[in-house]
Amino acid sequence: MNKIFKPYYAVIFTSTHSKQVEGYFEMAEKMEALAIKQDGFLGINSAKDDVGITVSYWQDLESIKKWKQNSEHLIAQQKGRNQWYSWYNVRICKVEKEYEQLLP
C-alpha cells in the first residue's frame, strides 16, 4: 500500500445472549441509527450466530468515550446488562493496517 493510511479506532463488542430477547432487535436498530449520527463515527458491522459481534469504527478515542457516555446509549447498555446479555466483552483497538478486495 502506497497511499497514506491514517489510523482510526475499532470497538469490538462480542456477546452471548440470555434467553430474554424482548426488545433487543428494536434497541439494536435504534442504537445503530443513533451511533451513525455521532461525531467521529466511521462505520459499523454486526453479525449474530451463537455469538454476536458488532464492530464499530471511530475517528479517535474521544469519540468512543462520548458515545459510551451518550445518555440514550447508557440506557441501552443498562438494559443489555439486565436483560439481553449473559456475557459480553468490549475491546478498544487501534486499526493500524487495512486492505480490501472487491471480487469479480
Q: Give the total of residues touching a second copy (CB under 8 A).
A: 34
How far does CA 35 lie from the centroid of its chain? 8
Q: Residue 77 Cβ, how far from a second copy at the closest point, in Å?
A: 10
- 44-73 binders of a second copy (CB under 8 A): 45-53, 55
45 membership: H or E segment, kind and range:
strand 41-48
Q: Residue 89 Cβ, how far from a second copy at the closest point, in Å?
A: 4
Closer residue to a second copy (CB): 28 or 34:
28
Contact 85, 77 (CB under 8 A): no
